[in-house]
Structure 1
Amino acid sequence: MKEVLYRSALATAVLVALGNGNALAHGNEGTGTESNDPPVQLDQISVTAQRREEAVQKTPLSLSVIAGPELDRMQVKRVDDVKFMTPNVVIEQNTGTSSGAKIIMRGVGVEDSMFTNDPTVAMYIDDVYIARQNGAMFDLLDVERIEVLRGPQGTLYGRNATGGAIRYITRKPTGEDRLDLDLNVGNFGRRDARVMGTTRLGETLDVSAAVLTRNRDGFLYDRTNDRKVNDQDVLAGRLSLASTWGEASYATLTIDRLAERSTPGWATPVAFDGDEVIPRTGSFYVTETDILGFSDLDQFGVALTNETDYGSFGLRQILHYRTLDHHVYMDLDGTRNLLYHVEQDQKQRQRGYEAQFTSYNEGPFNWVAGVFAFQESNDQPTRGDIFARGTTYDIEQDTTAYAIYAQGSYDFTDRLALTLGGRYSRENKDFDVRAVRTDGSVAFTKSMDKTWSRPDWKVLLDYDFSDNVMGYASVTTGFKSGGFNGRGTTYETITPVDEETMIAYEVGVKSSLWHNRVHLNANYYRLDYDGIQLTAVNPQGVFVLANATGALIQGIEVDLQAQVTQKLRVNASLGTIDSEYQNFSEANAATFSDLPMKNAPDLQWTLGASYTQPVGDADLVFSGSARYTDDYFQNQDASRLIMTRANTEVNARIAYEPRNANWSVALWGRNLTDKYASAGGFDIAGLGIGVIYPNVPRTYGLEFKYRFW
């Protein structure tokens, strides 16, 4: 049945795309061109996914873009909301943390937030690489668009992007005098505020600033201490200064700051009742704990970007420095007894530089080239309390990464183009751990230092079947450097792992149909994944990291955007993942044979729509989205106790927007059917621990926007 679904969905999309798009409409009937009304068509969106500006429908790769009014109408407020607009993506709050982002694309990703285990989906804010999962659950502060690139980005975004990349592109200061206020209130004590302003100082200095506060009471009841947990308490700000200088240069200085004082992510204890998973506390939203816990997060960043036009090419330089301090003490067992507690106090510092050269040739050959340099240091005392206060492990790691890359495209004809790309990466990690017992004596120390290097490449062929239909085929490699098991608690389990590698094959079609009223894109992908770095918890509660196995992952993705009428816009996506472990070593065959891959649901789909109804001098805008996710497993042992069961989440929003006024108001709701689902969990039989992290139940509220000038 699944094979039939794969083939029929992909075949339908390809046949429609390759057919005559104008067959869907007779002439210009219904497009609005018979009157003075604007034509009914989708907005033309430009992206920079390939380091140069181009139309999204002319970019030959798997790419989803969320921009403009859709950010508000589809309620995209944080990075985890991206999953409502993108196929084959799992994004959840990381287990035990308040702001860690677990991001999985096409079954490729890392759920452990420990800094020694790098993410495999890279995140960028204005091309600044964000190295850590902790603190990566970013709110939208004056964002212009979000680009989601699926599959390995080995040439242009080489560092740890075997799964894909998410790019936040913020609005540049324009000098416009503007001040906006956005207020949000709702159940669970929701009270958010966002203020954004722009202006010009003097003749050339453009300034923009944004401040956000996000607050919500907890949705999980801790009956031991009679309180609500899993709350939100965030204060963030961003300042941008931009100016032209010289004859052809434009510089932007950005400073951001965030402080979060939310509680950690608390879990609910669960058990089996026959085949049914039930909460031990009587409700999935009731927990117990013998500690109060805390999760204090502080982030700071500064980035300087300079763009210079040299006529035949442009040079973009990005220099950045970021800090992250995260002190958390959390209960992982969900009981009023001390079974498993964790405390960690992370101090992270990163700095980097990237230079991007982009050609401006009018001829058939265009290219992009660059250099990348990155340095990161982490220092984290970590303590795991299993039945009693445990040993403290002082873990330090210094990382340096360098790369050079180039990618060029040649147009053989006005329809056929070939792209070749290459990147050489070199990374070094210097790791130290010092284990100190509760009496102050040193249990052991261990130091390791290792360097990994690798060339990656890309071959891409794209062909315009018509002015509105493009097809492409590509082969791309990806690389994630090796590392060390920073969560090991014995000398023997603190071991190095080798790099992960991937070869990705993709065939796709992109089409603009019905006089640009419909964008229909489809692709088939195949990932040959090798040396997977898998984290598992053994029955004694010890984390083990190893290059366990390889995998074959394949599936299809279909993405649809349609401006059906002047009033109605629809978006939909479908993604499938067919995955299996392979290339077992002799030692691992017994463990992994016949096991499903974790975080790899067989099927996902999304459906969204917005409808604008004029009412006098105002518009009523109705918008909603639904997302279905098939069953998938949360851990390597494929535990059915903590697996995420198939579920559908529905969101909706109704906005009243006066046309000639400076305000608007909206009613919104999320998870309207109040469906419970597991967003993560631990099943550690040896410690008697089985817990799940429940999703947020139904929330609703009122949003008010006001523009002062």
Structure 2
Amino acid sequence: MSYTQLNKQGFARSLCAAAVTAACLSAPAALAQEDDNTEETKGKLERIEVTARKTVESLQETPVAITSIGAMELSEKGIEVLTEIQQFSPNTTMQTSRGTNSTLTAFIRGLGQQDPLWGYEPGVGIYIDDVYIARPQGAVLDLLDVQRIEVLRGPQGTLYGKNTIGGAVKYVTKEMAGDPQFTAEATIGSYNQRDVKITGQYPLVEDTVYLGVGYANLNRDGYGEFLTSALDGQDNENYNKDLWAARVSLEVHPSDDLFFRIGWDKTEDTSNAKGGYRLLPSILTDAPVPDSKYDSYTSLPTWNKVELEGYNWLVRYDVSEALELKYVGSHREGYSPTNIDFDNTQLPIFDVPAEYEDSNDTHEIQANLLGEHYTLVSGLYYYDGESCGNFDAVLGVLGQALGAPGLTREVSGCNNSESWAAYAQLNYDLTEQLSFSLGARYTDEEKQALVKNGLIFDNVYPFTGWFDGYVRPDGELIPQVLGTDTDGDGVLDAPAVESWSRFTPRLGVEYQVNSDMMFFASYSQGFKSGTFNPRAQTNEPGVDPEIVDSYEIGMKSDLTDSLRLNVTLFTYDHKDRQYIGIEGDLSDPTALDQRLRNAAETAAKGAEVEMTWVATDNLQFDVAYGYIDFEIKENNAIPPLIGLASTPENTLNLAANYLMETDFGDLVFNANYYYRDDYLLFETSDLIAQDGYGMVNMSVSWESMDGDWYAGLHGKNLTDEEYLVGGYDFVTIGEDGSFGPGLGGDTTLIGYYGAPRTVHLTVGYRF
């Protein structure tokens, strides 16, 4: 029987199945990933189903480098937030960005985007039920009512489109079916952690209309504190958490062939802005290196906010057993005012109050066709997004040194995008064992951008006026520096406009040796959008898209009923890399003139190994190993490129899971050791680097015999490793290697750290 015939039954079932219900956004048609504990399957490998190619397939029959973690595993390991997934996927980095608690920094195979400023595009796509999350603000998702997380490694430019040069991370939520269900869950833990989650569904019309709800309130005291502050009466906790999220969804099943869903969600995070750890003492004020990596100083208010709200809708019609039509749409808005103290002292040396605002609408029409020897996934996609922002770089001490009351560079602007794409991917069986896949996507994108940028010889806070610009005391506006002169009077009065189009192909071949072993090879291309410099100081042109050409060969195998081994070897070329370069004298610590260019070409090769061994009916071991070797082929970046950001040469995860069956319910013991090699924080600087480290996590979870009560005790980073996830380096280096003042006039070398050792207890009840 051919590969397509083997999967035809499961594909046809998926056309008639209920779609995954959205916790936040719209969902694709999918089969639930269920844990089967029957006697027939105990001690054997689990069949895992994924939707990496936008159809339901077995993980072992999908010729893509992918890691899938299901709801049960997430619960047993006590995984609470998206960034923890990096431990289980080779060559993957997902970390909380510097300065905030909910902005995501993501790299896969060394490809991503570090700067979260509006206008910059991510290199790893984040999707909630196949709907694209365009901005990194708020992308550190807390896991609520999730079915599974899928991490797709390598460019996904055909089915998922632009900004997936590194890969894609898919958050898939649970579907509604059956009788009324409600779950209440409470968590207490280290640093006064206190979380409440409530989820449920209610059939308004039996088997036809369902109402789903979810609510989470997540709180934790800070890992550290702001030791000094210029403001009284504010909350001085550092690395705290104060977040709530809610969602409502309505599903309608008028018939077996027709399905509708509409959903709403909102998240509000009012955790404090994060203060960084001074790696050097200040030379301008009393701010020595703190005792704790989580302590800081600031001259700004500590408040921070991330507000996200969205609507989603889905219509799916099964025209026949062979043809499925689907329409997915969404509207999302985000607003994030924040206070980032770059220098982390009680003086206004380098303070950046900022705000980000964005909104976007997406529409996708998809047609999935099943033939005798082929499957075809095709669609049309439209994206319309506005991304705007404003920040004041307050350099008060430097301004005073120049004889002024202060100094502020104020920048505001928008970088808006309208994009449409058409795509198709054909998977065809040449013989019963040999098949190929051919995919292509054509994307056409137009961007409009404006930037207002100017110096004010005073300390400006709070930020003033958004896109009308700051009004100087003499009545003049901060000038618009990036845009077009529409009437020829020498004044820029309209946004700059550029457009790009790209054809991104994929070609793959798969050989099914038998039902338990497959070899595959592929070529794929992805691109990260062209863009404009959001910090522009002149009317500079936009930069071209970044292009990645990737080649993979791999094997997916179930060597026995109890041993699974998946291996992928990859190589890629990364062209037209976008970098901010310094104009003028690099040794000048006050240099502010920066220009965005396509400035480098790099390449990498590597390997990824994932293994599962079911040793006994009750004991399982898992291994995930990643290796990457990086090469610089062209280097016109200023300052020059020296390595990869946030990407270690080796990553390794060793995990064990043991099930103990008792008369009062099942106990599951989990332990894992996660290792990351040394890595740089920035691609152009080795001033901040993290040595290799390993961390140990352990959990024990319990579920009652009738399945209504459950609990879990989870210890994370039990060896209390201190590891960098972000930073700032504004210093100069003397001939003798000593540190001197950088931008702002101080030795600003700042680190942000991952979570320390924590323990938490979760208790839940299903009714």
The answer to whether TM tops 0.5 is: yes
Kindly state the Cα deviation for residue 561 of structure 1 after the two structures are TM-superposed: 2.2
Matches for 1:11-410 after TM superposition, within 5 Å: 38-203=41-206, 204-225=208-229, 227-245=236-254, 248-271=257-280, 280-311=289-320, 312-361=322-371, 363-387=372-396, 388=406, 390-410=408-428
Residue of structure 2 aligned with 1:561, choices 597, 608, 612: 612
- 8 Å CA contact retained: 2:563, 2:612: yes
Aligned residues of 2:195 and 2:216 also touching (Cα < 8 A) = yes
**Counterpart Cα distance in 1 of 2:81 and 2:368:** 31
Equivalent of residue 572 in structure 1, options 603, 616, 623: 623
- d(CA) in 1 for partners of 2:667, 2:476: 68
CA distances 1:4-41 after superposition (whole Å, capped 9, x unpaired): xxxxxxxxxxxxxxxxxxxxxxxxxxxxxxx9665321
Q: Could you tell me whether the CA contact under 8 Å between 1:173 and 1:241 is conserved in 2?
A: no
2:758 counterpart letter in structure 1: T
Task: Tell me the distance in 2 between the aligned counterparts of 1:535 and 1:643.
Answer: 20
Query: Which deviates more from structure 2 when the two are superposed, residues 264-273 or residues 38-47?
Result: 264-273
What amino acid sits opposite 2:367 in the alignment?
F
Report what 1:6 is aligned to.
Answer: none
Pair 1:533-2:561 in alignment: no
Cα distance, 1:248–1:270 mapped onto 2, change above 3 Å: same
Match of 1:468 in 2: 516
Alignment partners' CA distance in 1, 2:710 and 2:497? 57
Residues 279 and 650 (structure 1 numbering): CA distance in 2 closer, same or farther, change over 3 Å? farther
| Cα displacement (A) at 1:546 | 2.4
Provide the secondary structure at the position in 2 that maps to 1:223.
Answer: strand
Among residues 484, 501, 516, which one is paired with 1:453 in the alignment? 501
Residues of 2 paired with 1:165 and 1:36: CA distance? Answer: 36
- 1:659 to 2:705 alignment: yes
Please say if residues 281 and 289 of structure 2, whose CA atoms lie closer than 8 Å, have aligned partners that are also in contact: no
CA deviation map 1:496-532 (0-9, x unaligned) = 21110010000000001221x2221001000111011
Q: Which secondary structure state, in structure 1, belongs to the residue aligned with residue 74 of structure 2? A: helix
Aligned residue for 1:84, secondary structure, equals: helix
Distance 1:663 1:117, change over 3 A: same
Instruction: Indicate if the aligned counterparts of 1:580 and 1:597 stay in contact, CA closer than 8 A.
Output: no
Per-residue deviation, residues 79-101 of structure 1 (Å, max 9, x unmatched): 10111210001111111122001
> TM-score, with normalisation over the residues of structure 2?
0.83
Question: Which residue number in structure 1 is paired with residue 476 of structure 2?
Answer: 441
Q: Counterpart of 1:518? A: 563
Cα distance 1:125–1:178, how it changes in 2: closer, same or farther (>3 A)?
same
Q: 1:265 to 1:36 in 2, by over 3 A?
A: closer
1:703 deviates by: 1.1
For the residue of structure 2 that corresponds to 1:625, the secondary structure is strand
Match of 2:423, SS?
strand
CA-to-partner distance for each residue in 1:288-320, whole Å, 9 max, x for gaps?
112223211111111101111111311111011
For 1:409 and 1:36, locate their aligned partners in 2 and report how far apart those are by CA, in whole Å: 35
Q: 1:464 to 1:126 in 2, by over 3 A?
A: same
- Partners of 2:445 and 2:169 lie apart in 1 by 22
Match in the other structure for 1:702 = 761
Contact map agreement 1:555 1:577 (CA 8 A) in 2: yes
Change (3 A) 1:161 1:661: closer
Q: CA deviation at 1:264?
A: 1.0
- Which 4+ residue blocks in structure 1 deviate beyond 6 angstroms? none
Measure how far apart 1:389 and its partner are: 5.1
- The aligned amino acid for 2:450 is D
CA contact (8 A) 2:133 2:139 kept: yes
Moved more, 443-452 or 387-396: 387-396
| Aligned 8 A contact 2:547 2:576 in 1 | yes
Q: C-alpha separation between the residues in 2 aligned to 1:327 and 1:504?
A: 38
2: CA distance, partners of 1:255 / 1:341: 36
Offset, 1:661 = 5.4
The match for 2:729 is: 683
Cα distance change of structure 1 residues 390 and 511 upon mapping to structure 2, 3 Å threshold: same
1:459-498 mapped onto 2 (5 Å cutoff): 459-488=507-536, 490-491=537-538, 496-498=542-544
1:201-220, Cα deviation, whole Å (9 max, x unpaired)? 02310122110111111112
Contact persistence 1:222–1:289 (CA under 8 A) = yes
**AA matched with 2:512:** D
Q: CA deviation at 1:321?
A: 0.4
Structure 2 equivalent of residue 550 of structure 1: 601
Distance change in 2, residues 1:271/1:619 (3 Å): same
Q: Secondary structure at the match of 2:85?
A: helix
Query: Is 1:415 the equivalent of 2:462?
Result: no
Q: How many aligned residue pairs are there?
A: 661
TM-score (norm 1): 0.90
* Distance in 1 of aligned mates of 2:673 and 2:535: 37
Matched residues in 2 for 1:121 and 1:62: separation?
14
Cα contact 2:119–2:414 (8 A) shared by 1 = no
1:612-691 to structure 2, matched below 5 A, reads: 612-640=659-687, 642-660=688-706, 662-685=708-731, 686-687=742-743, 688-691=747-750
| AA at the equivalent of 1:465 | V
Q: Which residue of 2 aligns with 1:501?
A: 547
CA distance in 1, matches of 2:130, 2:97: 24
**Counterparts of 1:617 and 1:599 in 2: how far apart (Å)?**
45
Residue 400 of structure 1 aligns with an amino acid whose one-letter code is E
Find the residue that maps to 1:139 and give its secondary structure. coil
- Aligned-residue sequence identity (percent) comes to 28
Query: Alpha-carbon deviations, 1:141-161, whole Å to 9, x = none?
Result: 111011110000111011211
What is the aligned-residue RMSD (CA, Å)?
Answer: 2.1
- Residue 11 of structure 2 aligns with which residue? none
Q: Which runs of no fewer than 5 residues in structure 1 stay unpaired?
A: 1-34
- In structure 1, the residue matched to 2:735 is none
Aligned equivalents of 2:281, 2:544: Cα separation in 1: 38
Q: What is the 5 A alignment of 1:580-591?
A: 580-585=631-636, 588=637, 591=639
Distance 2:340 2:223 in 1: 17
The structure-2 alpha-carbon separation of the partners of 1:486 and 1:415, relative to structure 1 and needing over 3 Å to count, comes to: same
